[in-house]
Amino acid sequence: MAVQIASFSSQRFGGGLVRGSALAPEYRTDGYLEALDRETFWYDAVWRKGRVHLICPKFNDLWPLVRGAAWRLDGRPVQVARIRRYRRHEVIELAAPVRPDTVAVEMAGWRAEAPLAPDGAGIFDGLDCGFYISRDNRLEWLADHAAFHRHHHGMQGLVVMDNGSTAYGPDEIAAALAPVGLEQVVILPAPFAYGPVGRPPFRRLEKFLQTALFNVLRLRFFGRAAAVLCCDVDELVLCDEGTIFDAARRSRIGHLRIAGYWADPVPTDGPPRHADHVLRTDPPRRCPPKWCQVPGGLVGGFSWDVHGPEKLTPLHKRTPTPGRRFLHCRRITTDWKSDKRQAAQASLTRDPAAGKALAFLDGAPPKRRP
């Protein structure tokens, strides 16, 4: 297994500039402003297809200043080619026919210069890949998740974005994943605020990090991947036949929505494992879908969001394809000792397909697809 511990080429605001909240005070929860990322200007600076892409949190009240900022690449003035505005992030695009080494910005009397991220386009060339953000999830969970998708779907590459784990570091993550047999792993420490939760209906309005970092991966690492699966550590994809990556390739648009259902564990004395999640409610309780996509497909240029490409509303309304689903493992959570996520279920029954798919994880070494 080839492992690369990479980093983001990020930039924080200076000169007294901080991002304000766009959420009205009555919708803010306790500690909301403390959890808000007020200081990150951009998470990463990526050169791709003749443009420098700066992937940023929403600018909020700093938008007028950003719009009037002056930019330089390797010391030469450049114009903004475009600023793409999404629900929870923004992307500044600067024209750059040749890849520069540095990007500099000046606004409101403050100036900063930062390097561009190394080119990662070839790392996952032709590989079937997965990715997720994690913080202090148990290392055996990371290994089981990877082993499951390696065994059942032939997953070859993985990006783990570690959002400030305190229980271990990148080397320990790499060691935990080593026995799985993946071809390429990138571990990306992500030392950014995850974001606050507001009151309904604005719970996720300023949780910038997740979708922004998804698009860092899209632009920096996954442009030449064969297919990419969006699937968190507590989610395992099942197919009646074949792999989810092959199914995405067979799709007319190169994109599949995957229906999700909650899975419950059998009782255990210690921390639960994925293999314990062989129970379900009757009828099954659904959760929002996830997706698998071919980056070079018809919708490959659209921004990634948690449940599908952003700004493709008709696609989000499509019914997920039958024969494919994912198990949302209720107790694979850092809050596994709490009853908050383990709500009392009136009716639990065994899920035969889940039990069969998970059997190889229950004390057996992971098998590898050829």
pLDDT of residue 100: 98
Three-state SS sequence of 95-109: ECCCCCCEEEEEECC
Closest CA to 350 of 250, 259, 290, 277: 277
Q: Do 293 and 257 meet the contact criterion of CB atoms below 8 Å apart? A: no
Query: What pLDDT score does 366 carry?
Result: 40
Residue 232 scores a pLDDT above 50: yes
Looking at the fold, whether 133 and 248 belong to one and the same domain comes out as yes
Please give the residue range of the domain that contains residue 38.
8-115
**Cα-atom radius of gyration of the chain, to the nearest Å?**
21
Query: Is residue 346 predicted with pLDDT exceeding 80?
Result: no
Q: d(Cα 322, Cα 307) in Å, to the nearest integer?
A: 17
Q: Which amino acid is at 126?
A: G
In the prediction, which pLDDT does 365 show? 41
Q: Is there a domain that residue 203 lies in?
A: no
What confidence tens digit (pLDDT) does each residue in 155-208 have?
A: 999 999 999 999 999 999 999 999 999 999 999 999 999 999 999 999 999 999
Does residue 172 share a domain with residue 69? Answer: no
**Confidence at residue 320, expressed as pLDDT on a 0 to 100 scale:** 77
Weakest-pLDDT range from 47-51, 110-114, 129-133, 269-273: 269-273
The whole-chain average pLDDT of the chain stands at 93
DSSP letter at 327 equals E
Same domain assignment for residues 44 and 148: no
Q: How many CA atoms lie within 13 A of 215 on its CB side?
A: 29
Whether residue 166 is found in the same domain as residue 42: no
Q: Token pair for residue 191?
A: 């030392």
343 pLDDT exceeds 60? no
Domain total of the chain: 2
Q: Is residue 282 part of a domain?
A: yes
Report, as an integer, the average pLDDT of 231-247: 97
Q: Which of 101, 128, 137 is nearest to 117 (CA)?
A: 101
Say yes or no: 350 and 293 in one domain: yes
Closest Cα to residue 192, out of 41, 88, 84, 332? Answer: 41
The pLDDT score that the predictor gives to residue 268 is 84
Residue 369 lies inside a defined structural domain of this protein: no
Do 110 and 165 fall within a single domain?
A: no
Q: What is the pLDDT of residues 39-98, one digit of tens each?
A: 999 999 999 999 999 999 999 999 999 999 999 999 999 999 999 999 999 999 999 999
Please indicate, yes or no, whether residues 176 and 296 belong to a single structural domain of this protein. yes
Q: How many residues comprise the chain? A: 370
- Domain ends where: 62, 83, 115? 115
Residues 106 and 248 in one domain: no
Band (pLDDT 50/70/90 cuts) for residue 367 is: very low
Tell whether the model's pLDDT for residue 342 goes beyond 90: no
CA 325, CA 351: separation in Å to the nearest integer?
A: 13
Kindly state whether residue 286 falls inside one of the protein's structural domains: yes
Is the distance from CB of 185 to CB of 4 less than 8 angstroms? yes
Q: CA 36 to CA 196: how far, in whole Å?
A: 6
pLDDT tens, position by position, 299-338:
999 999 999 899 776 676 677 778 999 999 999 998 744 5
Q: What pLDDT, on the 0 to 100 scale, is given for residue 317?
A: 67
Instruction: Inform me whether the pLDDT recorded for 340 exceeds 90.
Output: no
Out of 69, 94, 115, pick the residue that ends a domain: 115
Strand 90-95 relative to strand 51-56, pairing? antiparallel
